Structure 1
Amino acid sequence: MIYIIPANKKTSVLQSVQNGLRILQLFTVEKPVWGITEIANALQMSKSTVSRLMADMLEEEFIQREGNRYSLGFSVLSISGVITSHLEIHRESKDILKKLVIDLGETAHIAILEGNEITYVHKIECKNPVPLLSSIGKRNPITCTSSGKVLLTFQKKNMIESIIKEGLPQMGPNCPLEAQQLTDQLSQIKKQGFSICIDEMHQNVVSIAAPVRDYTDKVVAAVSVVGTKDRIQDHKIISFTDRIIEAANEISNRLGYIPDRKRAAH
Protein backbone atom coordinates (compact mmCIF):
# COMPACT_ATOMS: atom_id res chain seq x y z
CA MET A 1 0.00 0.00 0.00
CA ILE A 2 1.28 3.47 -0.89
CA TYR A 3 0.79 6.14 1.75
CA ILE A 4 0.22 9.61 0.40
CA ILE A 5 0.87 12.56 2.70
CA PRO A 6 -2.14 14.91 2.65
CA ALA A 7 -1.45 18.28 1.07
CA ASN A 8 -2.16 20.21 4.27
CA LYS A 9 0.15 17.96 6.28
CA LYS A 10 2.92 18.30 3.67
CA THR A 11 2.57 22.09 3.77
CA SER A 12 2.80 22.06 7.56
CA VAL A 13 5.98 19.95 7.51
CA LEU A 14 7.64 22.17 4.91
CA GLN A 15 6.71 25.29 6.86
CA SER A 16 8.21 23.81 10.02
CA VAL A 17 11.44 23.03 8.19
CA GLN A 18 11.54 26.54 6.75
CA ASN A 19 10.92 28.13 10.15
CA GLY A 20 13.58 25.93 11.75
CA LEU A 21 16.11 27.09 9.17
CA ARG A 22 15.12 30.72 9.75
CA ILE A 23 15.81 30.24 13.44
CA LEU A 24 19.23 28.72 12.80
CA GLN A 25 20.14 31.65 10.55
CA LEU A 26 19.65 34.04 13.48
CA PHE A 27 22.72 32.67 15.26
CA THR A 28 25.75 34.70 14.24
CA VAL A 29 29.22 35.49 15.54
CA GLU A 30 27.91 38.87 16.69
CA LYS A 31 24.91 37.29 18.47
CA PRO A 32 25.52 33.59 19.20
CA VAL A 33 22.95 33.27 22.03
CA TRP A 34 19.18 33.79 21.81
CA GLY A 35 16.10 33.41 23.99
CA ILE A 36 12.65 32.17 22.95
CA THR A 37 11.03 35.61 23.19
CA GLU A 38 13.87 37.25 21.23
CA ILE A 39 13.53 34.70 18.43
CA ALA A 40 9.74 35.07 18.33
CA ASN A 41 10.02 38.87 18.11
CA ALA A 42 12.79 38.79 15.52
CA LEU A 43 10.94 36.41 13.19
CA GLN A 44 7.40 37.52 14.06
CA MET A 45 6.45 34.00 15.11
CA SER A 46 4.43 32.89 18.12
CA LYS A 47 6.35 31.85 21.21
CA SER A 48 4.59 28.47 21.20
CA THR A 49 5.78 27.76 17.63
CA VAL A 50 9.32 28.80 18.49
CA SER A 51 9.29 26.67 21.65
CA ARG A 52 8.12 23.60 19.72
CA LEU A 53 10.73 24.03 17.01
CA MET A 54 13.48 24.66 19.55
CA ALA A 55 12.50 21.49 21.42
CA ASP A 56 12.79 19.48 18.20
CA MET A 57 16.17 20.99 17.29
CA LEU A 58 17.39 20.55 20.87
CA GLU A 59 16.59 16.85 20.69
CA GLU A 60 18.58 16.53 17.44
CA GLU A 61 21.45 18.61 18.93
CA PHE A 62 21.19 21.36 16.33
CA ILE A 63 21.00 23.73 19.28
CA GLN A 64 22.00 23.55 22.93
CA ARG A 65 20.45 25.19 25.99
CA GLU A 66 22.01 27.01 28.90
CA GLY A 67 19.20 27.98 31.26
CA ASN A 68 16.71 29.94 29.18
CA ARG A 69 19.22 30.78 26.47
CA TYR A 70 20.13 28.84 23.34
CA SER A 71 23.19 28.53 21.11
CA LEU A 72 24.15 26.36 18.15
CA GLY A 73 24.69 22.69 18.95
CA PHE A 74 27.20 20.08 17.89
CA SER A 75 25.16 18.85 14.92
CA VAL A 76 25.48 22.24 13.24
CA LEU A 77 29.14 22.45 14.16
CA SER A 78 29.70 19.02 12.65
CA ILE A 79 28.08 20.07 9.37
CA SER A 80 30.10 23.27 9.44
CA GLY A 81 33.25 21.25 9.92
CA VAL A 82 32.47 19.11 6.88
CA ILE A 83 31.84 22.19 4.72
CA THR A 84 35.01 23.86 5.96
CA SER A 85 37.01 20.72 5.27
CA HIS A 86 35.67 20.43 1.73
CA LEU A 87 36.32 24.10 1.04
CA GLU A 88 39.87 23.71 2.33
CA ILE A 89 40.48 20.67 0.13
CA HIS A 90 39.13 22.58 -2.87
CA ARG A 91 41.29 25.62 -2.13
CA GLU A 92 44.51 23.73 -1.42
CA SER A 93 44.19 21.40 -4.40
CA LYS A 94 43.44 23.94 -7.14
CA ASP A 95 46.98 24.86 -8.19
CA ILE A 96 48.23 21.32 -7.73
CA LEU A 97 45.53 19.90 -9.99
CA LYS A 98 46.29 22.53 -12.63
CA LYS A 99 49.96 21.49 -12.63
CA LEU A 100 48.95 17.83 -12.76
CA VAL A 101 46.86 18.45 -15.88
CA ILE A 102 49.73 20.35 -17.52
CA ASP A 103 52.18 17.54 -16.73
CA LEU A 104 49.98 14.61 -17.77
CA GLY A 105 47.69 16.14 -20.37
CA GLU A 106 44.57 14.51 -18.89
CA THR A 107 41.71 15.70 -16.70
CA ALA A 108 42.27 15.65 -12.92
CA HIS A 109 39.74 15.44 -10.08
CA ILE A 110 39.29 15.62 -6.35
CA ALA A 111 36.64 13.22 -5.03
CA ILE A 112 35.18 12.73 -1.56
CA LEU A 113 33.04 10.05 0.01
CA GLU A 114 29.36 10.82 0.49
CA GLY A 115 27.44 7.90 1.93
CA ASN A 116 28.00 4.90 -0.30
CA GLU A 117 29.08 6.93 -3.34
CA ILE A 118 31.81 9.33 -4.35
CA THR A 119 31.27 12.92 -5.38
CA TYR A 120 33.64 15.01 -7.47
CA VAL A 121 34.18 18.34 -5.71
CA HIS A 122 36.86 19.71 -8.02
CA LYS A 123 37.80 19.12 -11.64
CA ILE A 124 40.43 20.63 -13.94
CA GLU A 125 39.94 19.67 -17.57
CA CYS A 126 42.71 19.06 -20.07
CA LYS A 127 42.80 20.70 -23.51
CA ASN A 128 40.96 17.82 -25.15
CA PRO A 129 38.69 16.40 -22.44
CA VAL A 130 36.81 13.16 -22.89
CA PRO A 131 33.10 14.05 -22.72
CA LEU A 132 30.63 12.66 -20.18
CA LEU A 133 33.19 10.92 -17.96
CA SER A 134 32.79 13.15 -14.91
CA SER A 135 31.49 16.47 -13.66
CA ILE A 136 31.59 18.44 -10.42
CA GLY A 137 28.84 17.23 -8.10
CA LYS A 138 28.35 14.00 -10.01
CA ARG A 139 28.03 10.87 -7.91
CA ASN A 140 29.55 7.55 -8.94
CA PRO A 141 29.57 4.06 -7.42
CA ILE A 142 32.36 3.55 -4.94
CA THR A 143 33.39 0.07 -6.07
CA CYS A 144 34.24 0.64 -9.75
CA THR A 145 36.17 3.92 -9.77
CA SER A 146 39.78 4.44 -8.75
CA SER A 147 38.81 7.30 -6.40
CA GLY A 148 36.05 5.21 -4.88
CA LYS A 149 38.29 2.25 -4.20
CA VAL A 150 40.96 4.47 -2.65
CA LEU A 151 38.39 6.04 -0.33
CA LEU A 152 36.74 2.72 0.49
CA THR A 153 40.08 1.07 1.26
CA PHE A 154 40.63 3.29 4.29
CA GLN A 155 37.13 2.99 5.75
CA LYS A 156 36.21 0.85 8.75
CA LYS A 157 35.63 -2.84 8.18
CA ASN A 158 31.90 -2.65 8.97
CA MET A 159 31.35 -0.03 6.26
CA ILE A 160 33.19 -2.12 3.68
CA GLU A 161 31.07 -5.11 4.65
CA SER A 162 27.91 -2.99 4.37
CA ILE A 163 28.87 -1.85 0.85
CA ILE A 164 29.48 -5.42 -0.23
CA LYS A 165 26.23 -6.60 1.35
CA GLU A 166 24.25 -4.07 -0.69
CA GLY A 167 25.55 -5.67 -3.87
CA LEU A 168 28.21 -4.56 -6.32
CA PRO A 169 26.93 -2.60 -9.34
CA GLN A 170 27.70 -3.91 -12.79
CA MET A 171 29.16 -1.07 -14.82
CA GLY A 172 32.12 -1.61 -17.18
CA PRO A 173 33.34 -5.08 -18.21
CA ASN A 174 36.11 -5.23 -15.58
CA CYS A 175 34.28 -3.94 -12.50
CA PRO A 176 34.44 -6.34 -9.53
CA LEU A 177 31.27 -8.38 -9.13
CA GLU A 178 32.29 -10.71 -6.31
CA ALA A 179 32.99 -9.75 -2.70
CA GLN A 180 36.30 -11.59 -2.53
CA GLN A 181 37.54 -9.92 -5.70
CA LEU A 182 36.81 -6.47 -4.29
CA THR A 183 38.29 -7.36 -0.90
CA ASP A 184 41.51 -8.53 -2.55
CA GLN A 185 41.70 -5.33 -4.59
CA LEU A 186 41.25 -3.13 -1.51
CA SER A 187 43.97 -5.05 0.31
CA GLN A 188 46.34 -4.48 -2.60
CA ILE A 189 45.46 -0.76 -2.81
CA LYS A 190 46.23 -0.35 0.89
CA LYS A 191 49.67 -1.92 0.41
CA GLN A 192 50.64 0.01 -2.71
CA GLY A 193 48.97 3.36 -1.93
CA PHE A 194 47.10 3.88 -5.19
CA SER A 195 44.32 2.44 -7.36
CA ILE A 196 44.17 1.79 -11.10
CA CYS A 197 40.88 1.01 -12.79
CA ILE A 198 40.70 -0.02 -16.45
CA ASP A 199 37.35 -0.66 -18.15
CA GLU A 200 35.52 -0.61 -14.81
CA MET A 201 33.24 2.43 -14.71
CA HIS A 202 33.19 2.72 -18.50
CA GLN A 203 34.73 0.67 -21.26
CA ASN A 204 37.93 2.10 -22.78
CA VAL A 205 38.51 4.32 -19.74
CA VAL A 206 41.52 4.36 -17.41
CA SER A 207 41.45 6.07 -14.03
CA ILE A 208 44.27 6.28 -11.51
CA ALA A 209 43.84 7.64 -7.96
CA ALA A 210 45.82 8.22 -4.78
CA PRO A 211 44.66 9.15 -1.26
CA VAL A 212 44.68 12.61 0.32
CA ARG A 213 45.12 12.75 4.10
CA ASP A 214 44.47 15.56 6.56
CA TYR A 215 46.37 16.55 9.72
CA THR A 216 44.75 13.68 11.66
CA ASP A 217 46.14 11.12 9.18
CA LYS A 218 42.60 10.41 7.95
CA VAL A 219 42.01 9.83 4.23
CA VAL A 220 39.58 12.63 3.35
CA ALA A 221 39.72 12.70 -0.44
CA ALA A 222 41.26 11.15 -3.52
CA VAL A 223 43.13 12.69 -6.44
CA SER A 224 42.43 11.00 -9.75
CA VAL A 225 43.30 11.36 -13.40
CA VAL A 226 40.94 9.94 -16.02
CA GLY A 227 41.39 9.35 -19.72
CA THR A 228 40.91 6.82 -22.50
CA LYS A 229 43.07 3.73 -22.98
CA ASP A 230 44.48 5.01 -26.25
CA ARG A 231 45.77 8.11 -24.40
CA ILE A 232 46.80 6.52 -21.09
CA GLN A 233 48.60 3.56 -22.59
CA ASP A 234 50.21 0.77 -20.58
CA HIS A 235 53.72 2.21 -20.85
CA LYS A 236 52.49 5.51 -19.35
CA ILE A 237 50.72 4.08 -16.31
CA ILE A 238 53.77 3.91 -14.02
CA SER A 239 54.80 7.53 -14.66
CA PHE A 240 51.19 8.69 -14.36
CA THR A 241 50.80 6.87 -11.04
CA ASP A 242 54.00 8.35 -9.61
CA ARG A 243 52.91 11.86 -10.56
CA ILE A 244 49.39 11.41 -9.12
CA ILE A 245 50.80 10.11 -5.83
CA GLU A 246 53.11 13.11 -5.72
CA ALA A 247 50.16 15.48 -6.22
CA ALA A 248 48.10 13.70 -3.55
CA ASN A 249 50.98 13.92 -1.09
CA GLU A 250 51.43 17.61 -1.80
CA ILE A 251 47.76 18.33 -1.11
CA SER A 252 47.99 16.22 2.07
CA ASN A 253 50.95 18.29 3.24
CA ARG A 254 48.98 21.48 2.66
CA LEU A 255 46.19 20.05 4.82
CA GLY A 256 48.64 19.52 7.65
CA TYR A 257 49.47 15.85 7.16
CA ILE A 258 52.89 14.86 8.49
CA PRO A 259 54.28 11.63 6.97
CA ASP A 260 55.67 9.16 9.48
CA ARG A 261 54.21 11.26 12.30
CA LYS A 262 55.14 8.72 14.99
CA ARG A 263 58.74 8.53 13.80
CA ALA A 264 58.94 12.34 13.56
CA ALA A 265 57.79 12.65 17.17
CA HIS A 266 60.89 10.82 18.46
Structure 2
Amino acid sequence: MIIIIPANKKTPVLQSVQHGLQILQLFTIEKPVWGITEIANALQIHKSTVSRLIADLLVEGFLQKEGHKYSLGFSLLSISGVITSHLEIHRESKDILKKLVSDLEESAHIAILEGKEITYVHKIECADPVSLLSSIGKKNPVTCTSAGKVLLAFKPNDKIESIMAEGLPRMGPNSITSPEQLKGQLSQIKQQGFSICIDEMHENVVSIAAPVRDYTSEVVAAVSVVGTRERIHHTKINGFTERIIGAANEISMKLGFIPDKEWTLD
Protein backbone atom coordinates (compact mmCIF):
# COMPACT_ATOMS: atom_id res chain seq x y z
CA MET A 1 0.00 0.00 0.00
CA ILE A 2 1.36 3.43 -0.91
CA ILE A 3 0.68 6.27 1.52
CA ILE A 4 0.69 9.72 0.00
CA ILE A 5 1.43 12.60 2.35
CA PRO A 6 -0.26 15.85 1.25
CA ALA A 7 2.19 18.61 0.43
CA ASN A 8 0.75 20.87 3.14
CA LYS A 9 1.04 18.22 5.89
CA LYS A 10 4.31 17.01 7.35
CA THR A 11 4.95 14.04 9.57
CA PRO A 12 6.49 14.81 13.00
CA VAL A 13 9.81 13.40 11.77
CA LEU A 14 9.86 15.58 8.64
CA GLN A 15 8.88 18.62 10.68
CA SER A 16 11.68 17.96 13.17
CA VAL A 17 14.20 17.67 10.33
CA GLN A 18 12.93 20.92 8.83
CA HIS A 19 13.12 22.72 12.17
CA GLY A 20 16.60 21.34 12.81
CA LEU A 21 17.82 22.66 9.46
CA GLN A 22 16.16 26.02 10.12
CA ILE A 23 18.04 26.26 13.41
CA LEU A 24 21.38 25.61 11.69
CA GLN A 25 20.62 28.22 9.03
CA LEU A 26 20.26 30.91 11.72
CA PHE A 27 23.99 30.83 12.48
CA THR A 28 25.88 33.39 10.40
CA ILE A 29 29.19 35.23 10.48
CA GLU A 30 27.31 38.28 11.77
CA LYS A 31 25.57 36.26 14.51
CA PRO A 32 27.46 33.03 15.25
CA VAL A 33 26.02 32.43 18.74
CA TRP A 34 22.34 31.90 19.63
CA GLY A 35 20.32 31.17 22.76
CA ILE A 36 17.25 28.93 22.99
CA THR A 37 14.85 31.85 23.53
CA GLU A 38 16.35 33.76 20.60
CA ILE A 39 15.97 30.73 18.31
CA ALA A 40 12.40 30.10 19.46
CA ASN A 41 11.45 33.73 18.81
CA ALA A 42 13.21 33.89 15.45
CA LEU A 43 11.59 30.71 14.13
CA GLN A 44 8.30 30.98 16.03
CA ILE A 45 8.83 27.51 17.52
CA HIS A 46 8.03 26.54 21.11
CA LYS A 47 11.05 26.69 23.44
CA SER A 48 10.64 23.07 24.50
CA THR A 49 10.85 21.97 20.84
CA VAL A 50 13.94 24.10 20.29
CA SER A 51 15.54 22.69 23.44
CA ARG A 52 14.92 19.11 22.31
CA LEU A 53 16.27 19.73 18.80
CA ILE A 54 19.36 21.47 20.14
CA ALA A 55 20.03 18.49 22.42
CA ASP A 56 19.97 16.21 19.35
CA LEU A 57 22.21 18.57 17.36
CA LEU A 58 24.69 18.69 20.27
CA VAL A 59 24.91 14.89 20.42
CA GLU A 60 25.64 14.70 16.68
CA GLY A 61 28.22 17.47 16.85
CA PHE A 62 26.35 19.96 14.67
CA LEU A 63 26.17 22.44 17.57
CA GLN A 64 28.43 23.11 20.54
CA LYS A 65 27.63 24.84 23.82
CA GLU A 66 29.13 28.20 24.73
CA GLY A 67 28.00 29.08 28.24
CA HIS A 68 24.21 29.28 28.05
CA LYS A 69 24.23 29.69 24.27
CA TYR A 70 25.22 27.65 21.22
CA SER A 71 27.44 27.87 18.13
CA LEU A 72 28.04 25.61 15.13
CA GLY A 73 29.92 22.37 15.81
CA PHE A 74 32.75 20.58 14.06
CA SER A 75 30.49 18.05 12.30
CA LEU A 76 29.49 20.83 9.91
CA LEU A 77 33.15 21.65 9.36
CA SER A 78 33.75 18.04 8.36
CA ILE A 79 30.85 18.13 5.88
CA SER A 80 31.98 21.45 4.40
CA GLY A 81 35.48 20.00 4.04
CA VAL A 82 34.12 17.10 1.98
CA ILE A 83 32.18 19.47 -0.27
CA THR A 84 35.18 21.76 -0.70
CA SER A 85 37.42 18.81 -1.50
CA HIS A 86 35.06 17.47 -4.15
CA LEU A 87 34.66 20.90 -5.74
CA GLU A 88 38.44 21.31 -5.79
CA ILE A 89 38.94 17.90 -7.41
CA HIS A 90 36.33 18.76 -10.05
CA ARG A 91 37.94 22.11 -10.78
CA GLU A 92 41.54 20.89 -10.88
CA SER A 93 40.80 17.80 -12.97
CA LYS A 94 38.78 19.43 -15.75
CA ASP A 95 41.57 20.40 -18.17
CA ILE A 96 43.62 17.30 -17.39
CA LEU A 97 40.67 15.02 -18.15
CA LYS A 98 40.00 16.86 -21.40
CA LYS A 99 43.61 16.27 -22.49
CA LEU A 100 43.38 12.62 -21.42
CA VAL A 101 40.22 12.10 -23.49
CA SER A 102 41.81 13.86 -26.45
CA ASP A 103 44.93 11.68 -26.24
CA LEU A 104 43.22 8.32 -25.67
CA GLU A 105 39.94 8.95 -27.54
CA GLU A 106 37.97 7.28 -24.75
CA SER A 107 35.74 8.70 -22.01
CA ALA A 108 37.33 9.56 -18.65
CA HIS A 109 35.89 9.84 -15.14
CA ILE A 110 36.69 11.03 -11.64
CA ALA A 111 35.19 8.78 -8.96
CA ILE A 112 35.08 8.88 -5.16
CA LEU A 113 34.27 6.22 -2.59
CA GLU A 114 30.96 6.50 -0.73
CA GLY A 115 30.29 3.58 1.58
CA LYS A 116 30.49 0.37 -0.45
CA GLU A 117 29.98 2.12 -3.79
CA ILE A 118 31.77 4.57 -6.02
CA THR A 119 30.17 7.77 -7.23
CA TYR A 120 31.21 9.52 -10.43
CA VAL A 121 31.71 13.22 -9.69
CA HIS A 122 33.12 14.21 -13.09
CA LYS A 123 32.96 12.77 -16.59
CA ILE A 124 34.19 13.88 -20.00
CA GLU A 125 33.02 11.89 -22.99
CA CYS A 126 35.02 11.15 -26.10
CA ALA A 127 33.76 11.87 -29.61
CA ASP A 128 32.39 8.34 -29.97
CA PRO A 129 31.32 7.35 -26.45
CA VAL A 130 30.37 3.80 -25.56
CA SER A 131 26.97 3.54 -23.90
CA LEU A 132 27.99 2.25 -20.47
CA LEU A 133 25.35 3.96 -18.36
CA SER A 134 27.98 5.95 -16.46
CA SER A 135 27.06 9.48 -15.55
CA ILE A 136 27.83 12.11 -12.94
CA GLY A 137 26.21 11.05 -9.67
CA LYS A 138 25.78 7.43 -10.74
CA LYS A 139 26.90 4.79 -8.23
CA ASN A 140 28.54 1.44 -9.01
CA PRO A 141 29.74 -1.42 -6.79
CA VAL A 142 33.24 -0.76 -5.52
CA THR A 143 34.54 -4.28 -6.18
CA CYS A 144 33.59 -4.48 -9.87
CA THR A 145 35.24 -1.33 -11.19
CA SER A 146 38.84 -0.27 -11.66
CA ALA A 147 38.18 3.04 -9.90
CA GLY A 148 36.51 1.26 -7.00
CA LYS A 149 39.37 -1.19 -6.56
CA VAL A 150 41.93 1.62 -6.62
CA LEU A 151 40.01 3.52 -3.96
CA LEU A 152 39.49 0.42 -1.83
CA ALA A 153 43.10 -0.77 -2.12
CA PHE A 154 44.34 2.24 -0.16
CA LYS A 155 41.77 1.95 2.63
CA PRO A 156 42.48 0.35 6.04
CA ASN A 157 41.94 -3.40 6.36
CA ASP A 158 38.86 -2.98 8.57
CA LYS A 159 37.16 -0.94 5.82
CA ILE A 160 38.01 -3.61 3.24
CA GLU A 161 36.78 -6.38 5.54
CA SER A 162 33.49 -4.60 6.28
CA ILE A 163 32.73 -4.20 2.57
CA MET A 164 33.60 -7.83 1.80
CA ALA A 165 31.42 -8.96 4.71
CA GLU A 166 28.38 -7.58 2.88
CA GLY A 167 29.06 -9.84 -0.10
CA LEU A 168 30.72 -9.33 -3.46
CA PRO A 169 28.18 -8.71 -6.24
CA ARG A 170 28.50 -10.50 -9.56
CA MET A 171 28.04 -8.04 -12.40
CA GLY A 172 30.09 -8.94 -15.50
CA PRO A 173 31.35 -12.46 -16.30
CA ASN A 174 34.74 -11.81 -14.65
CA SER A 175 33.44 -10.27 -11.42
CA ILE A 176 35.44 -11.43 -8.41
CA THR A 177 33.28 -13.10 -5.77
CA SER A 178 36.07 -14.64 -3.66
CA PRO A 179 37.17 -12.44 -0.72
CA GLU A 180 40.64 -13.99 -0.70
CA GLN A 181 41.10 -13.35 -4.42
CA LEU A 182 39.93 -9.75 -4.00
CA LYS A 183 42.31 -9.13 -1.08
CA GLY A 184 45.20 -10.44 -3.16
CA GLN A 185 44.23 -8.22 -6.06
CA LEU A 186 43.88 -5.13 -3.84
CA SER A 187 47.34 -5.75 -2.40
CA GLN A 188 48.79 -5.87 -5.92
CA ILE A 189 46.89 -2.73 -6.95
CA LYS A 190 48.24 -0.83 -3.94
CA GLN A 191 51.77 -1.90 -4.79
CA GLN A 192 51.62 -1.12 -8.53
CA GLY A 193 49.50 2.04 -8.29
CA PHE A 194 46.79 1.23 -10.84
CA SER A 195 43.91 -1.15 -11.54
CA ILE A 196 42.70 -2.84 -14.72
CA CYS A 197 39.27 -4.49 -14.93
CA ILE A 198 38.17 -6.51 -17.94
CA ASP A 199 34.58 -7.83 -18.18
CA GLU A 200 34.00 -7.21 -14.47
CA MET A 201 31.32 -4.51 -14.46
CA HIS A 202 30.03 -5.13 -17.98
CA GLU A 203 30.87 -7.75 -20.57
CA ASN A 204 33.29 -6.60 -23.28
CA VAL A 205 34.34 -3.56 -21.25
CA VAL A 206 37.82 -2.54 -20.12
CA SER A 207 38.41 0.05 -17.41
CA ILE A 208 41.75 1.34 -16.14
CA ALA A 209 42.13 3.57 -13.07
CA ALA A 210 44.82 5.28 -10.99
CA PRO A 211 44.63 7.01 -7.59
CA VAL A 212 44.37 10.75 -6.94
CA ARG A 213 45.99 11.96 -3.72
CA ASP A 214 45.58 15.20 -1.78
CA TYR A 215 48.16 17.26 0.12
CA THR A 216 48.10 14.74 3.01
CA SER A 217 49.01 11.91 0.56
CA GLU A 218 45.60 10.30 1.18
CA VAL A 219 43.88 8.73 -1.84
CA VAL A 220 40.72 10.81 -2.24
CA ALA A 221 39.59 9.94 -5.77
CA ALA A 222 40.41 7.89 -8.86
CA VAL A 223 40.84 8.70 -12.54
CA SER A 224 39.43 6.04 -14.82
CA VAL A 225 39.15 5.52 -18.56
CA VAL A 226 36.59 3.09 -19.94
CA GLY A 227 36.07 1.53 -23.36
CA THR A 228 35.37 -1.72 -25.17
CA ARG A 229 37.88 -4.55 -25.52
CA GLU A 230 37.97 -3.91 -29.28
CA ARG A 231 39.07 -0.32 -28.69
CA ILE A 232 41.30 -0.88 -25.65
CA HIS A 233 42.88 -4.15 -26.77
CA HIS A 234 45.88 -5.72 -25.07
CA THR A 235 48.43 -3.90 -27.22
CA LYS A 236 47.15 -0.53 -25.96
CA ILE A 237 46.71 -1.30 -22.26
CA ASN A 238 50.26 -0.44 -21.17
CA GLY A 239 50.20 2.89 -22.98
CA PHE A 240 46.76 3.72 -21.59
CA THR A 241 47.84 2.81 -18.08
CA GLU A 242 50.91 5.03 -18.18
CA ARG A 243 48.88 7.96 -19.48
CA ILE A 244 46.14 7.51 -16.84
CA ILE A 245 48.72 7.33 -14.03
CA GLY A 246 50.27 10.52 -15.39
CA ALA A 247 46.89 12.30 -15.40
CA ALA A 248 46.13 11.12 -11.85
CA ASN A 249 49.53 12.39 -10.67
CA GLU A 250 48.95 15.76 -12.36
CA ILE A 251 45.64 16.18 -10.53
CA SER A 252 47.24 15.03 -7.27
CA MET A 253 49.97 17.66 -7.54
CA LYS A 254 47.35 20.33 -8.19
CA LEU A 255 45.73 19.23 -4.92
CA GLY A 256 49.04 19.76 -3.12
CA PHE A 257 50.47 16.23 -3.22
CA ILE A 258 54.26 16.09 -3.42
CA PRO A 259 55.22 12.81 -5.15
CA ASP A 260 58.13 10.62 -4.21
CA LYS A 261 60.38 9.36 -6.98
CA GLU A 262 58.23 6.25 -7.35
CA TRP A 263 55.23 8.45 -8.23
CA THR A 264 57.04 10.66 -10.71
CA LEU A 265 56.82 9.72 -14.39
CA ASP A 266 59.99 9.87 -16.44
TM-score normalised over the length of structure 2: 0.92
Counterparts of 1:95 and 1:224 in 2: how far apart (Å)?
15
Cross-structure match for 1:264: none
After TM superposition, give the deviation of residue 59 of structure 1 in Å: 1.4
TM-score normalised over the length of structure 1: 0.92
Equivalent residues in 2 for 1:91-110, closer than 5 Å: 91-110=91-110
After TM superposition, give the deviation of residue 206 of structure 1 in Å: 0.4
The residue matched to 1:29 in structure 2 has which SS? coil
Amino acid at match of 1:123: K
Cross-structure match for 1:144: 144
Counterparts of 1:13 and 1:205 in 2: how far apart (Å)?
44
Amino acid at match of 1:219: V
Cross-structure match for 1:73: 73
After TM superposition, give the deviation of residue 222 of structure 1 in Å: 0.2
Cross-structure match for 2:264: none
Deviations 1:102-131 (A, max 9, x none): 111110000000001100000011111111
Cross-structure match for 2:169: 169
Counterparts of 1:29 and 1:219 in 2: how far apart (Å)?
33
Cross-structure match for 1:55: 55
After TM superposition, give the deviation of residue 44 of structure 1 in Å: 1.7
Equivalent residues in 2 for 1:183-222, closer than 5 Å: 183-222=183-222
After TM superposition, give the deviation of residue 31 of structure 1 in Å: 2.0
Amino acid at match of 1:30: E
Counterparts of 2:94 and 2:30 in 1: how far apart (Å)?
32
The residue matched to 1:223 in structure 2 has which SS? strand
Query: In percent, how many aligned pairs have the same letter?
Result: 76
Counterparts of 1:33 and 1:92 in 2: how far apart (Å)?
35
Amino acid at match of 1:34: W
The residue matched to 2:20 in structure 1 has which SS? helix
Deviations 1:149-204 (A, max 9, x none): 00000011011111222111011111111111111111111111000000000000
Counterparts of 1:164 and 1:46 in 2: how far apart (Å)?
47
Deviations 1:29-51 (A, max 9, x none): 22221121221222122222211
After TM superposition, give the deviation of residue 138 of structure 1 in Å: 0.6
After TM superposition, give the deviation of residue 133 of structure 1 in Å: 3.3
Equivalent residues in 2 for 1:216-231, closer than 5 Å: 216-231=216-231
Counterparts of 2:234 and 2:88 in 1: how far apart (Å)?
34
Number of residue pairs aligned between Structure 1 and Structure 2? 256
Cross-structure match for 1:127: 127
The residue matched to 2:11 in structure 1 has which SS? helix
Give RMSD over aligned pairs. Answer: 1.8
Amino acid at match of 2:177: L
Deviations 1:216-239 (A, max 9, x none): 110000000001111111111111
Amino acid at match of 2:116: N
Equivalent residues in 2 for 1:109-124, closer than 5 Å: 109-124=109-124
The residue matched to 1:143 in structure 2 has which SS? helix
Cross-structure match for 1:241: 241
Cross-structure match for 1:15: 15
Pick which of 218-227 and 10-19 moved more.
Answer: 10-19
Amino acid at match of 1:40: A
Which residues of structure 1 form unaligned runs of 5+?
Answer: 262-266
Cross-structure match for 2:87: 87
Deviations 1:51-73 (A, max 9, x none): 11111111111100111121111
- Runs (4 or more) in structure 1 with deviation over 6 Å come to none
Pick which of 207-216 and 125-134 moved more.
Answer: 125-134
Counterparts of 2:93 and 2:258 in 1: how far apart (Å)?
17
Equivalent residues in 2 for 1:25-64, closer than 5 Å: 25-64=25-64
